[in-house]
Structures are given as structure tokens and as C-alpha cells.
């Protein structure tokens, strides 16, 4: 029998560094530190994952190889082939929300974390993104600026690989780019429509290898399925690109199924001594010792771990003398719309899978000083003749009865059946386009996560309770997104689908958490009363405790977080190496 006696097993080995989490931040820290010769232990709450292992591989599978034809399930929320084990709700691992507020929390329980299925949109922050308060007085400045980060972005570009183009845009800085894939047909149409409207369209910046960069990783073969994980390791995921080579150094031990419970401390020195964890399979309790502890468990989990690591010395949780841990959590804004482009009806068939996701995008192009909301957004585009999946053909009765949607131009009855219905499905295939805005919110102290006073998960670990509300700033930004999408749709000669979202539903603004870009729960700063970490992501209160995920972010820009997580983790890791050499750690 198991679980009759949980007993605590303590490792004898003392690692140089214990890292919690194997996603973008933890992977980069493990990779950098192990390559520098440190003995590293990585705790991962989920299971092993290797997209080249047939056991885990879903790439190149057809919809009929899934019983549910690729639909989502409670165990794979983004579809049956998506490389995310976990989801919005994980059995036995609840989280709660304060009454009247919303927050949805997506967790991947696997080596590599959420980098296994992410969109690979790899945008550096620009100079303005670090200094928003100086520009308009809202939010806070980072304690570092673009010049501090640029060398690390450059290294990440070269180490991991990203395609794109240098456009000389001030707040969307140039980088070291591989050649971008050419736009697809609908993307050329969007570009043309945008040009007429004065909206810029550029090749997207994403981390797929359009050219090989080393012998360990292959080249993109354009299946468009990056979210399933790449068996050629031709896209970036932490598991394939960072953890795997870190393990190969012989200096890294990865412990899967290890759910961190607390950061352990020395009651006398107050320094971190390691991490206690529960094995999620056996329910046995363990601890692992380290000279340095790096938390990279995700903004939410890192805050939870800090807050749960209480002792007489740290009654509010470790590194939390400021009381700031959990505060300022912020997710990207998101709103979307789709459309049908009649000129794409009955289009010629060819393979346009391309890379997984968009080949072009629109970075923020306007001046907020002239608008009624303070922060920008970028636009992501979708569409094309993709692989049919569960949901294909759904709702055709809303399309095939429309004027001008028939081949001969004669209106026919909506819905129907039989051979003419089959003709309709063929005609509409590949004529959809979609638009998604992803924007910057203003971080607020009164948006926070905290420990729920009465709820624990199945491991007995107190859970997070979220308290998050959008402000007018974000709602007005979403309105602007919707107006812009309609302009582009009309300029393309398309018909927008569904009713235009309005004030009654916040202009389609996604609930907090839904964009899965939550950051900011242990923010950096120069003042230890208003921040958790210093400018090197080192805890003000505990000098051998670091954070390497998106928790240190002071704000998130109108960019996706991953490239900055990677660059910041690299910077933090190099600082750790430097400080070790100097004997300061």
C-alpha cells in the first residue's frame, strides 16, 4: 500500500542550483547554469515530454486518428493533438477567485511547461515598454531598460532562432533574424487592405527554424503544427531546446512529478537552503538542497510558492517583506473577430500550412497620446486552407443562405442537405480570416493573487485565489481593436461574422487570464518597499533566491512575454555565475 506513511526523504547531494519549473525561464536558467558547470536540479510538477518520442508525438496525425476528431477534452483544452497536458482546470489542483472578479489560469504539467504548445510569437520589448511611467505617469518603470536587455535578446535570437525582418522600428527593435516565410494568400490580401488604411503589416517574428542553426535541431518542414510540438525540434520549446541540452551536459538532473511545496530556509541566516516537494505519483514527501534557488514555476505558481514559504522569519512568505508578492498580476488584453472573404470562395487548392501560425502581423502603430486609452496592442492574423478538425462545417446555416454567398449569386435557403450542401462546404473552405488583438494592460496594485485562506489542493498545498478586474483603459482598447478589425474586413471586401461585440460585453475583451500571458507577481524594482526583486531578479530579502519566469515583469508591453522571459532568465543566470565567481553567493 502507498500513502499510509508519507515520510520525508532528504537528498544528501547539495546542488549548486535548484530550479523550480522547466518552462521558458527555468529551461534557460538550467541551460545557462549547467553549461557553465553548475550542478543543477530542476523540479517539474508534470510528466516528461519529448515531441520526438512516439509516445508523446502528435505531429502529423490526421483528425480521424483522434476519437474526437481533434476536439478538446478535459485533459487537452486546446484540442486532442495540442502539446499541453493540463489546462484551465486540473483535477485535484483547484484555484479560486474573489467574488465579483474573474481570472482563468492555464497550467501545463509537463517538462517544458507551456512552451510546448505556445504560439512561438517572439517579440522583444522596445525601449518604451520598460519606461511607461516616465512616458505617461501610469504604472511603473522597470529598474532596467532596453539597453540592459539588448545583449541578452541578441543572444537569445542567435541561440534559439527566430525569423523576422529588421524594419528599424523604434519600439519593435531589430534583431538577428532567420528568413521569414512568405505571406499566404489571405495574408497578402490583409496586407493590401491594411496599406490602404495606413495600418502597417510586417513579416511576423516567430521562433521556428526556417534555416538550420546547429546539428541538434532540424529545419522547419512547414506542417503548421507547432502547437503539437516539433519532432524535428525546429521550433522553440524549452523541453527540446533548453532542457534536453542541459541534461546532456551531465550537470542537470530533472525531477518530473515533483510538485514544489515550500522554499526551505535556514532560520539563522535566512538564506534559502532548497525546496521541499511532493511526488505527484507516489505522494511521498521529499526535499532537495541547493546553494541557490531559482523560481521559474510561472508567475502564478512562483507567487504561490513564495507566499506558502512561511516561517517565523518570513511570516508573510519568503521574500515578501514588501507585501508586494502576488500584486500587480496582469495578463494581455485580447479581443478577436472573424470574417468570410467571398473572393476566396472556390479557391484553388494547394498546401499553405506554412509555419504554425501567422506569417505577417501588425505591431502597434498609433500614438496613445492621441487616443482615449494609454497602451497599445498588436494584431495577429489567422486563416487559410488548414487541416479540417472537429467543428469544421459547423453553423453553415448562417452562411449558405446569405446574399452573394452562392456560386451563381442567387440567394438560396439557409441550411439544407444533400449534394448542394456538399458544394457549399467545398466553396467556403479556406475563405475564413480571423483577427486577434493582443494588448498591454496597465498593471494595478489592486489586481492580485493571494493564498486562499481555506482551500488546499490534493497535495495539501494552499491554493491561489485571484482578484482581477479590467479597467476602462483595457475596455477602450478592446473597442479600438473591434473598430480596426471591421475596417480591415471591409477594406478586404469581407463580411464580418457574428454581431460586433459592444459595450454590453466589453467589446469582446477576453476575461483576465484567458490570453495566458500573466506576469508581474514578484516585480523587480530599486525600492524594496515596493518591489520583491532587485534589478537582477534577486530577492531583496534573500540574496540566494532568484526568480526567472514572468513574475519579475513590471509591465508586459504590447508584446508576448516569452522572448523577454528568456532574455531576462539568461541575464539573471549570467549574474548568478558572475556573483558565484566573485564569491558573493
Partner 1 sequence: MGLSSLGLAVFNPDEKAIENLELGKVPVKRPNGRTQEEAEMEAKLKAEIFLNAHELATITILSDIIIPADKKSGSASQSGVTAFIEFIVKDKPELKTPMRGGLRWLDVESNKRFSKNFTELTPAQRLNIVDEIAYPGKTPKHLSQGESFFTLMRNLTATGFYTSKIGIADLDYKGNTPNQWNGVPDEVLKQYGLSYDA
Residue 507 C-alpha from the chain's centroid = 23
Subset of residues 544 to 573 that bind partner 1, contact rule: CB under 8 A = none
24 lines the binding site for partner 1 (CB under 8 A): no
48 lines the binding site for partner 1 (CB under 8 A): yes
352 lines the binding site for partner 1 (CB under 8 A): yes
Subset of residues 490 to 519 that bind partner 1, contact rule: CB under 8 A = none
> Among 4, 215, 351, 454, which residue sits at the site for partner 1 (rule: CB under 8 A)?
351
What is the closest distance, in whole angstroms, from the C-beta atom of residue 424 to partner 1 in the complex?
10
What is the closest distance, in whole angstroms, from the C-beta atom of residue 66 to partner 1 in the complex?
9
Q: Which residues pair with 264 in a beta bridge?
A: 274
Minimal CA–CA distance to 264: which of 300, 321, 305? 305
What is the closest distance, in whole angstroms, from the C-beta atom of residue 276 to partner 1 in the complex?
14
Q: How far is CA 18 from CA 37, 264, 307, 338, 470, in A?
A: 14, 11, 18, 45, 36
SS (H, E, C) 74-137: CCECCCCCCCCCEECCCCCCCCEECCCCCCCCCEECECCHHHHCCCCECCCCCHHHHCHHHHHC
What is the closest distance, in whole angstroms, from the C-beta atom of residue 509 to partner 1 in the complex?
26
Reported in sequence order, the residue ranges of 244-358 that DSSP labels E, i.e. its strands, are 252-255, 258-265, 272-279, 285-295, 333-340
Subset of residues 59 to 98 that bind partner 1, contact rule: CB under 8 A = 60-65, 67-71, 73-76, 81, 85
DSSP of 309-341: ---SS-TT-TT-TTS-TTBT-B--EEEEEEEE-
Q: How many CB atoms lie within 10 A of CB 281?
A: 11
What is the closest distance, in whole angstroms, from the C-beta atom of residue 43 to partner 1 in the complex?
10
> Among 121, 160, 189, 524, which residue sits at the site for partner 1 (rule: CB under 8 A)?
189
Using the contact rule CB under 8 A, the part of the chain among 100-108, 420-428, 466-474, 552-560 near partner 1 is 420-428
349 lines the binding site for partner 1 (CB under 8 A): yes
Q: Confirm if 402 and 495 have CB atoms less than 8 A apart.
A: yes
317 lines the binding site for partner 1 (CB under 8 A): no
Q: Where are the alpha helices (DSSP H) in 431-545?
A: 472-491
Minimal CA–CA distance to 307: which of 195, 161, 462? 462
What is the closest distance, in whole angstroms, from the C-beta atom of residue 545 to partner 1 in the complex?
23
What is the closest distance, in whole angstroms, from the C-beta atom of residue 45 to partner 1 in the complex?
13
What is the closest distance, in whole angstroms, from the C-beta atom of residue 162 to partner 1 in the complex?
17
Nearer to partner 1, 241 or 324 (CB): 241
What is the closest distance, in whole angstroms, from the C-beta atom of residue 397 to partner 1 in the complex?
5
Nearer to partner 1, 316 or 343 (CB): 343
Minimal CA–CA distance to 436: which of 509, 331, 354, 491? 509
SS (H, E, C) 457-485: CCCCCEEEEEECCCCHHHHHHHHHHHHHH
Residue 444 C-alpha from the chain's centroid = 20
Minimal CA–CA distance to 538: which of 507, 499, 485, 579? 579
Residues 444 and 151: their CA atoms lie apart, in Å, by 30
Nearer to partner 1, 81 or 95 (CB): 81
Burial class (CB in 10 A: 0-12, 13-18, 19+), 211: exposed
> Among 10, 282, 404, 471, which residue sits at the site for partner 1 (rule: CB under 8 A)?
282
What is the closest distance, in whole angstroms, from the C-beta atom of residue 325 to partner 1 in the complex?
29
Nearer to partner 1, 82 or 474 (CB): 82
Give the number of residues in contact with partner 1, rule: CB under 8 A. Answer: 98
Nearer to partner 1, 73 or 166 (CB): 73
Nearer to partner 1, 85 or 105 (CB): 85
What is the closest distance, in whole angstroms, from the C-beta atom of residue 202 to partner 1 in the complex?
14
> Among 103, 106, 286, 448, which residue sits at the site for partner 1 (rule: CB under 8 A)?
286
Q: For the chain, percent helix, then strand, then coil, each to nearest 5?
A: 25, 20, 55
541 lines the binding site for partner 1 (CB under 8 A): no
Nearer to partner 1, 151 or 391 (CB): 391
Angle between helix axes 562-581 and 24-35 (nearest 10 degrees) is 30
Half-sphere exposure of 270 (CA within 13 A, CB side): 14
194 lines the binding site for partner 1 (CB under 8 A): no
53 lines the binding site for partner 1 (CB under 8 A): yes
530 lines the binding site for partner 1 (CB under 8 A): no
Sheet holding 448-456, edge to edge: 96-97, 462-467, 448-456
Minimal CA–CA distance to 323: which of 333, 314, 312? 314
Subset of residues 462 to 481 that bind partner 1, contact rule: CB under 8 A = none
55 lines the binding site for partner 1 (CB under 8 A): yes
What is the closest distance, in whole angstroms, from the C-beta atom of residue 579 to partner 1 in the complex?
27
Nearer to partner 1, 458 or 469 (CB): 458
179 lines the binding site for partner 1 (CB under 8 A): no
Subset of residues 362 to 401 that bind partner 1, contact rule: CB under 8 A = 385-397, 401
578 lines the binding site for partner 1 (CB under 8 A): no
> Among 92, 315, 409, 418, which residue sits at the site for partner 1 (rule: CB under 8 A)?
418
252 lines the binding site for partner 1 (CB under 8 A): yes
> Among 8, 414, 455, 456, which residue sits at the site for partner 1 (rule: CB under 8 A)?
414
Half-sphere exposure of 521 (CA within 13 A, CB side): 32
Q: Confirm if 19 and 111 have CB atoms less than 8 A apart.
A: no
3-state SS assignment for residue 24: helix
Nearer to partner 1, 357 or 376 (CB): 357
What is the closest distance, in whole angstroms, from the C-beta atom of residue 415 to partner 1 in the complex?
5
Amino acid at each position: 500500500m502507498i500513502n499510509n506513511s508519507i515520510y520525508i526523504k532528504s537528498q544528501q547531494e547539495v546542488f549548486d542550483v535548484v530550479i523550480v519549473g522547466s518552462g521558458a525561464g527555468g529551461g534557460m536558467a538550467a541551460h545557462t547554469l549547467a553549461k557553465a558547470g553548475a550542478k543543477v536540479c530542476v523540479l517539474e510538477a508534470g510528466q516528461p515530454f519529448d515531441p520526438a518520442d512516439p509516445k508523446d508525438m502528435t505531429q502529423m496525425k490526421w483528425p480521424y486518428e483522434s476519437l474526437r476528431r481533434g476536439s478538446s477534452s478535459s485533459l487537452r483544452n486546446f484540442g486532442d493533438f495540442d502539446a499541453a497536458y493540463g489546462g484551465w482546470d486540473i483535477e485535484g489542483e483547484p484555484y479560486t477567485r474573489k467574488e465579483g472578479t474573474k481570472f482563468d489560469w492555464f497550467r501545463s504539467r509537463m517538462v517544458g511547461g507551456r512552451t510546448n504548445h505556445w504560439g512561438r510569437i517572439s517579440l522583444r520589448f522596445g525601449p518604451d515598454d520598460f519606461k511607461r511611467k516616465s512616458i505617461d505617469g501610469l504604472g511603473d518603470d522597470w529598474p532596467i531598460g532596453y539597453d540592459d536587455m539588448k545583449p541578452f535578446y541578441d543572444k537569445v535570437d542567435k541561440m534559439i532562432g527566430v525569423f523576422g525582418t529588421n524594419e528599424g522600428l523604434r519600439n519593435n527593435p531589430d534583431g538577428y533574424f532567420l528568413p521569414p516565410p512568405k505571406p499566404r494568400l489571405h495574408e497578402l490580401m490583409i496586407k493590401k487592405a491594411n496599406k490602404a488604411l495606413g495600418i502597417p503589416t510586417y513579416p511576423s517574428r516567430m521562433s521556428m527554424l526556417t534555416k538550420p542553426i546547429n546539428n541538434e535541431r532540424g529545419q522547419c518542414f512547414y506542417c503548421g503544427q507547432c502547437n503539437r510540438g516539433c519532432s524535428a525540434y525546429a521550433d522553440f520549446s524549452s523541453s527540446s531546446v533548453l532542457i534536453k541540452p542541459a541534461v546532456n551536459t551531465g550537470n542537470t538532473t530533472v525531477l518530473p512529478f515533483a510538485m514544489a511545496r515550500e522554499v526551505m530556509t535556514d532560520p539563522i541566516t535566512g538564506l534559502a537552503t532548497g525546496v521541499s516537494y511532493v511526488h505527484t505519483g507516489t505522494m511521498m514527501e521529499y526535499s532537495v538542497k541547493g546553494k541557490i534557488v531559482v523560481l521559474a514555476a510561472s508567475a502564478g505558481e512562483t507567487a504561490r510558492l513564495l507566499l506558502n514559504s512561511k516561517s517565523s522569519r518570513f511570516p508573510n512568505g519568503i521574500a515578501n517583506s514588501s507585501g508586494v508578492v502576488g500584486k500587480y498580476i496582469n495578463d494581455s488584453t485580447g479581443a478577436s473577430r472573424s470574417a468570410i472573404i467571398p473572393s476566396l470562395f472556390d479557391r484553388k487548392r494547394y498546401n499553405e500550412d506554412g509555419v504554425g501560425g501567422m506569417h505577417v502581423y501588425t505591431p502597434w502603430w498609433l500614438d496613445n497620446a492621441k487616443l482615449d486609452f494609454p497602451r497599445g496592442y498588436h494584431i495577429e492574423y489567422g486563416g487559410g486552407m488548414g487541416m479540417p478538425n472537429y467543428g469544421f462545417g459547423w453553423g453553415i446555416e448562417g452562411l449558405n443562405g446569405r446574399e452573394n454567398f452562392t456560386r451563381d449569386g442567387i440567394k438560396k435557403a439557409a441550411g439544407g442537405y444533400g449534394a448542394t450542401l456538399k458544394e457549399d462546404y467545398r466553396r467556403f473552405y479556406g475563405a475564413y480570416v480571423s483577427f486577434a488583438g493582443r494588448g498591454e494592460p496597465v498593471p494595478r496594485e489592486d489586481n492580485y493573487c493571494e493564498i486562499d485562506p481555506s482551500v488546499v489542493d490534493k497535495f495539501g498545498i494552499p491554493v491561489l485565489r485571484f482578484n482581477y478586474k479590467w479597467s476602462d483603459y483595457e475596455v477602450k482598447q478592446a473597442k479600438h481593436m473591434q473598430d480596426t478589425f471591421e475596417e480591415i474586413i471591409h477594406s478586404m471586401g469581407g463580411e464580418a461574422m457574428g454581431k460586433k461585440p459592444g459595450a454590453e460585453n466589453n467589446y469582446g475583451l477576453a476575461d483576465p487570464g484567458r490570453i495566458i500571458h500573466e506576469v508581474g507577481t514578484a516585480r523587480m524594482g530599486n525600492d524594496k518597499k515596493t518591489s520583491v526583486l532587485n534589478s537582477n531578479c534577486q530577492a531583496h530579502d534573500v540574496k540566494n533566491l532568484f526568480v526567472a519566469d514572468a513574475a519579475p515583469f513590471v509591465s508586459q508591453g504590447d508584446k508576448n512575454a516569452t522572448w523577454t522571459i528568456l532574455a531576462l532568465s539568461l541575464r539573471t543566470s549570467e549574474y548568478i555565475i558572475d556573483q558565484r565567481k566573485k564569491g558573493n553567493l
